[in-house]
Amino acid sequence: MMFSDGDVVNLGIGLPTIIPNHIPPGLKITLQGENGVLGLGPAPPLHEINKDVFDAGGGWATLNPGGSFFDSAVSFGLIRGGHVDITVLGALQVDKEGNLANWMVPGKLMAGYGGAMDLITCAKKVIVAMEHTNKGDPKIFNKCSFPLTGAHCVDVIVTNMAFIEVTPEGLLVKEIAPNVTVDELKNATEADLIIPDDVAVMTVYE
């Protein structure tokens, strides 16, 4: 578990949005939305939607007791000022130096940065959560080829195949998924991996 009691956490759009459904009972973290909210709760049932409460992906949300609303200058002041402990976001490419690309595919797709660039520069810990490959094509490289969202910013990469730490020596595989072999992991990854002989098996939380 990468979250500690009391952490302020920002979740990006895509895969990270499923995290609130998997937080163990008893762990108290505060979710921040860069759209101006601290203390985000789960999505409401349809009949309880408040049209002015939503998350940074535009999905309806609720506010937990003790939560608060503020404007975008305050919201990014919190982020830039180092008051967000952890950001979890998706990636198109990530590399062994901790570079992250998630805002455009040259010639194909142009999304923009949103709040990602501020978050990955200023949050204390940056976790990339993504599918290990894009339909079989690697997403983890020795060097990103797409334009970067941030340089030397990623601390941890979590995928359906492995839990990987970005270290000065390179990408260190800390855990491997129960149904994945070392060879399968290497084949799905363009980057060189450091895989200890006694690499742990990933704990899967239901």
Partner 1 sequence: MGKLMTLLEAVAPIKDGDTILVGGFGPMGYPGRVMRTILKQTELKDLFFIANAANQNYLPALEKMLMTRSRGMIATFTRPSKAAEKLYNEGKLELIPQGTFSERIRAGGAGIPAFYTPVGFGTAVEEGKPTIEIDGVKYLMEKAIKADVALIKAAVVDLDGNCFMTGCTKNFGTLMPAAAKYTVVEAEKLVKPGKIDPELVTVPGILIDAIVKVGA
Residues at the interface with partner 1 (CB under 8 A)? 33-37, 50-54, 56, 58, 63, 69-73, 75-77, 79-80, 99, 103, 109-118, 121-122, 147-152
Question: Catalytic residue numbers?
Answer: 34
Which is nearer to partner 1, 6 or 147 (by Cβ)? 147
Residues 6+ apart with CB under 8 A from 83: 8
CB of 119 to partner 1, least distance (A): 8
CA pair distance 82, 62, nearest whole angstrom: 25
Nearer to partner 1, 11 or 161 (CB): 11
CB of residue 143 vs partner 1: minimum separation in angstroms?
13
**What type of residue is 175?**
E
How far is residue 108's CA from residue 30's CA, in Å, rounded to a whole number?
A: 36
Q: Which of 40, 122, 39, 37 is nearest to 71 (CA)?
A: 37
Q: Which class for 49: exposed (0-12), middle (13-18), buried (19 or more C-beta within 10 A)?
A: middle
- β-pairing, 109-110 with 104-105? antiparallel
Evaluate whether 135 touches 121 at the Cβ level (below 8 Å): no
159 vs 89, 168, 199, CA distance in Å? Answer: 12, 20, 16
- Which is closer to partner 1, CB of 96 or CB of 132? 96
The residue (of 71 and 181) whose beta carbon lies closer to partner 1 is 71
The distance of closest approach from Cβ of residue 19 to partner 1 in the complex, given in angstroms and rounded to an integer, is 20
Least separation, in Å, of the C-beta of 63 and partner 1? Answer: 8
